[in-house]
Amino acid sequence: MKRIPSIGTLMTPFPWYLEVGATVQMARALMLRQGIHHLPITDPEHRVLGLVNLNAIPDTAEPVAEWLISVPRLDVHTRADEVLEMMAEAHQDVVVLSHHGRLAGIFTWTDACRAFAMHLREPSRPAGSH
């Protein structure tokens, strides 16, 4: 029987983030420079407060806290199949992952597509083999 991996093995670890005191302009500049669409926003202890989505924020000097989106926050040890099923059912394109309550990673549909592509490339076993 195949062991189902935790979402932590598939996530983007150590994602870019900003602390809550940042401005929306700072967030946009970072996302554009790094080519990312989702940016976690944390408190000073690196606990995730929410995230901002590049496609949903204007170019403004307003505090980033005004534009936070609430997203599921899961532990890195959550089974990957449970996360994928939850994301599909909720039409959720991103989840934030934590370890001991602190930001550890992010998992998006892009990560899911990469993982599925790798899965498809794995050698097939003959029928009936274990």
The pLDDT tens digits of the residues spanning 17-71 come to 999 999 999 999 999 999 999 999 999 998 999 999 999 999 899 999 999 999 9
Strand bridging mode 12-13 / 18-19:
unpaired
What is the C-alpha separation between 113 and 76, in angstroms, rounded? 18
**130 confidence band (pLDDT: 50, 70, 90):** low
Going by the DSSP 8-state scheme, the letter that residue 109 receives in this structure is H
Going by the DSSP 8-state scheme, the letter that residue 77 receives in this structure is T
123: helix, strand or coil: coil
What is the C-alpha separation between 12 and 15, in angstroms, rounded? 6
46: helix, strand or coil: coil
Q: What is the pLDDT of residue 1?
A: 57
119: helix, strand or coil: helix
State the average pLDDT over residues 120-128.
Answer: 72
State the average pLDDT over residues 10-15.
Answer: 95
**2 confidence band (pLDDT: 50, 70, 90):** confident
Q: Is 122 exposed, middle or buried (0-12, 13-18, 19+ CB in 10 A)?
A: exposed
State the average pLDDT over residues 99-111.
Answer: 95
Q: What is the pLDDT of residue 127?
A: 58
Question: 7-121, what's its fold?
Answer: CBS-domain (3.10.580)
52 closest CA partner among 89, 78, 22, 74: 22
Going by the DSSP 8-state scheme, the letter that residue 106 receives in this structure is E
Q: What is the pLDDT of residue 122?
A: 84
Rounded to two decimals, the pTM is 0.86
